[in-house]
Amino acid sequence: MRSASEDLTTRARIRDAAIGCFARRGFDGTTLRQIAGEAHVSAALIVHHFGSKDALRDACDAHVVATFMGDKAALAGTAAADMMRAALDSPARYAPLLEYLTRMLVDSSPASDHLFDAFVAGTRDMLEQQIAEGMMRPQDDLDVIAVYVTLYGLGPVLLQRHLARAFGEEGLTTAVMERSTLPVLEMFTHGLYTDDRLLVAAREALRRRSGPRSDKGENDPNQDPDPPR
């Protein structure tokens, strides 16, 4: 009889094998038999542990989200520098997970939507924590900020070939990450603009467009500027 610890190890091995297979072949292009061969188990054992290929994907998604969002949450703690250095020194640790995200996030499927939504929820939790600890200013619409911070974080994953090419590297190497870290944090910490003139202009533009609008625009030449009363 297998022990509980052996079962946990087997589950993790199957999950990691599935992440690699899904990253290379996509979800639809991967069979349980292929995953079983990669994990050196039987397909029946995969069904025993996860029930189905869909449930196995859910487990892979949960693991990937927990890995990245758990690391992000640590940024609010006192060991942030140690965590950043460890991440910079071991890009290979994240490579299979990044490849998985690159493949799975571009699916037009409910599962892909669920994966993205999980990142947004985790990001929102992280932002709330950082606001509570005084690291970040309160935001008027935290839901919108969470979506855009998520998009920013996932952008280098989905466009990693172009990011690496821009730095003359092949892949998200330590050199790419080291060169990016300080400029990106400076951008978030100090901002880009020296004043709020664009923000004021945007607020004014949105104020002018608020309220119900007709199908014809304000500058429609066919619209009677002074309709009869």
Alpha helices in the chain (DSSP H): 4-25, 32-39, 43-50, 53-73, 80-89, 91-104, 110-132, 142-158, 160-166, 174-190, 197-208
> CA-to-CA distance for 102 and 64, rounded, in angstroms?
12
> CA-to-CA distance for 17 and 89, rounded, in angstroms?
24
* Structural domains of the chain ordered from first start: 57-158 (1.10.357.10)
Q: What is the pTM of this model?
A: 0.76
CA 214 → CA 27, 28, 220, 223, distances in Å? Answer: 46, 46, 11, 11
> CA-to-CA distance for 54 and 31, rounded, in angstroms?
11
Per-residue pLDDT of the chain (229 residues; tens, 9 = 90+): 444 454 469 999 999 999 999 999 999 999 999 999 999 999 999 999 999 999 999 999 999 988 888 755 555 555 566 666 776 677 777 888 889 999 999 888 899 999 999 999 989 998 998 899 898 999 999 999 999 999 998 998 889 899 999 999 988 888 888 899 899 999 999 999 999 999 999 999 998 876 655 555 445 545 544 544 4
For residue 75, give the DSSP letter: G
